[in-house]
Amino acid sequence: MTATATEHVKLTMAQALNRALRDSLAADPTVVVFGEDVGALGGVFRITDGLTAEFGEDRCFDTPLAESGIVGVAVGMAMNGLRPVVEMQFDAFAYPAFEQIVSHVAKMRNRTRGRVTLPMVIRIPYAGGIGGVEHHCDSSEAYYAHTPGLHVVAPATPADAYALLREAIASPDPVVFLEPKKLYWSKEEVELAAPVPGIGRAVVRREGTDATLIAYGPTVPVALEAAAVAAQEGRSLQVVDLRSIVPFDDETVCAAVRSTGRAVVVAESSGFASVSSEIVARVTERCFHSLHAPIRRVTGFDIPYPPPKLEHFQLPGVDRVLDAVDDLQWEDR
């Protein structure tokens, strides 16, 4: 991949993430990348492919199979002037590191009254849709979003994957970077130097006038497909891509919902006590007098992740989204 940052290049999300890591390593000598099999192998999903060969084993290297140790080492590195980017091999593999993340990564700035910051990124391939088994398909965003002190982002396009990862690595504060595994092979033309909204900003992916679909990460393509099908049936659906779960962009989301008066939140994770619950609560609080119907949710069920042959029942699909849209009290129009 020889394109410069000013050129348009066609990239998969996996290639865009690899390019973001490569450009960050080249631009900043304090950036280091490490995790399980990220060195010579290039990671399970090849996100770090070629980085060890290009930058050496001091900048991109393998670690033991010990997630708590990986994050703990990253904390020490960040406290001493480096910018570590660590990879948790799969979503549920990150749980052994949860104590480090909640007790130290998230609290260090507050604990030291701002004297010590932790500029580090925790990359987590997450969510389902790849035919994986339990521990490989969790939607774990609620755990991190509920923890003050962390930024939590989930890109849905290769362009956002590149831009948000570059911004996350440059951030002075820790970022949990959730990568939708099933979108690793999605592809689009990316202008690497193009300005894009930063962390904390949502975008409207499709304009519409009848109802707003609110999605993030792996459910954005589902929402867009549902909107396309609805258009064939004469219904105009707007699609908002959150991009950033924490900070949450109330301004863009609420403006979108107020413009249509109806909304459905689409998320892969279980619905109970989830990010989707929080979205419904805060949008209802802020947009109550503009709503024509209660906000609906389409989420994963409140069960452990099912076996591969059953995951299509668990994942939000177009039909479930359109069923929820049908329930938005259209008879009151």
Find out whether 107 and 117 touch, Cβ atoms under 8 Å: no
Residue 8's pLDDT is: 83
Sheet order of strands, 237-241 included: 203-206, 237-241, 211-215, 263-270, 296-300
Integer Cα distance of 210 and 30 in angstroms: 49
Find out whether 201 and 255 touch, Cβ atoms under 8 Å: no
Q: In this predicted model, what pLDDT tens digit does every residue of 150-191 receive, in sequence order?
A: 999 999 999 999 999 999 999 999 999 999 999 999 999 999
Q: In this predicted model, what pLDDT tens digit does every residue of 11-21 receive, in sequence order?
A: 999 999 999 99
Residue 167's pLDDT is: 97
Distances (CA, A) of 236 to 27, 138, 211, 227, 229: 44, 32, 7, 7, 10
CATH topology match: 9-191 vs 204-327: yes
- Say if residue 4's pLDDT is above 80: no
> Which residue in 255, 272, 324 sits closest to 293, CA to CA?
324
Which sequence spans correspond to the domains of the chain?
9-191, 204-327
- Say if residue 6's pLDDT is above 90: no
pTM (predicted TM-score):
0.96
Residue 168's pLDDT is: 98
Residue 134's pLDDT is: 85
Tell me how crowded residue 135 is: count the other CB atoms within 10 A of its CB. Answer: 14
Confidence label for 304 from pLDDT (cuts 50, 70 and 90): very high
Confidence label for 331 from pLDDT (cuts 50, 70 and 90): confident
DSSP, residue by residue, 121-152: EEEEEE-S-S---TTSS---HHHHHTSTT-EE
Instruction: Given CATH 3.40.50.12160, say whether it is the number of domain 9-191.
Output: no
Distances (CA, A) of 96 to 43, 74, 315: 19, 15, 26
Handedness of CA 43, 49, 50, 51 (dihedral sign): negative
Top CATH class, 204-327: alpha beta
Integer Cα distance of 159 and 161 in angstroms: 5
Q: In this predicted model, what pLDDT tens digit does every residue of 223-260 receive, in sequence order?
A: 999 999 999 999 999 999 999 999 999 999 999 999 99
Tell me the average pLDDT across 310-326.
97
Residue 193's pLDDT is: 86
- Which of the following is catalytic: 136, 146, 292, 312? 136
- Phi and psi (nearest 5°) for 252? -70, -45
Q: In this predicted model, what pLDDT tens digit does every residue of 191-214 receive, in sequence order?
A: 988 888 999 999 999 999 999 999
Q: Which residues of 152-176 are buried (b: 16+ CB within 10 A; e: fewer)?
A: bbbbbbbbbbbbbbbbbbebebbbb
Tell me the average pLDDT across 24-36.
98
Find out whether 32 and 52 touch, Cβ atoms under 8 Å: no
- Say if residue 46's pLDDT is above 90: yes
Tell me the average pLDDT across 94-111.
97
104 is catalytic: no
Residue 2's pLDDT is: 46
Integer Cα distance of 251 and 228 in angstroms: 25
- Say if residue 72's pLDDT is above 80: yes
Rg (CA), the chain: 20
